Amino acid sequence: MSGTLPPLVALSVLVAGATGAVLRYALSRAFPVRPGHLPGGILIVNVLGSALAGALIGLAERAELTGDLRLILVTGFCGGLTTFSTWSVETIELFDGGRWRAAILNVFVTLALGLGAAAAAYLAVR
């Protein structure tokens, strides 16, 4: 990729990001935060998005994805699908609600599963 971003690629990143964000919203609505549970919808999107990004980067290393397509799918779609901000806020809300064990568990489970999914998918396809 060069230093300039062609308009069609920029538009594609925008559309892919919006698509990922809509899917994230749908999954978070399908798996709402329930009392006594971890934020399941956000955990699902973050792990799925991490696995997909890992696989896409592995494919890009094998030259099976162009730089533009990698940008569209990883930055756009996976970036729109995953969410650090919502995960952070939900973790803070767990702490604020006196559920500090759940908050700590949410941090470790999300990080371990997200990194593990990204690494496994990356290694599987490269």
Residue 1 lies in a domain: no
What does the pLDDT read at residue 2? 54
* Tens digit of each residue's pLDDT (9 = 90 or more) over 50-71: 999 999 999 999 988 899 999 9
The pTM (predicted TM-score) of the whole model is 0.90
Q: Considering the domain boundaries, does residue 35 fall inside one?
A: no
Domain membership flag for residue 2: no
Q: Are 67 and 4 within 8 A, CB to CB?
A: no
Q: What is the mean pLDDT of the chain?
A: 93
Burial class (CB in 10 A: 0-12, 13-18, 19+), 82: buried
Provide the number of structural domains found in the chain.
1
Q: What is the residue range of 11's domain?
A: 7-30+40-125
Tens digit of pLDDT for each residue in 96-107?
999 999 999 999
Q: Give the tens place of pLDDT for each residue, 75-92.
A: 999 999 999 999 999 999
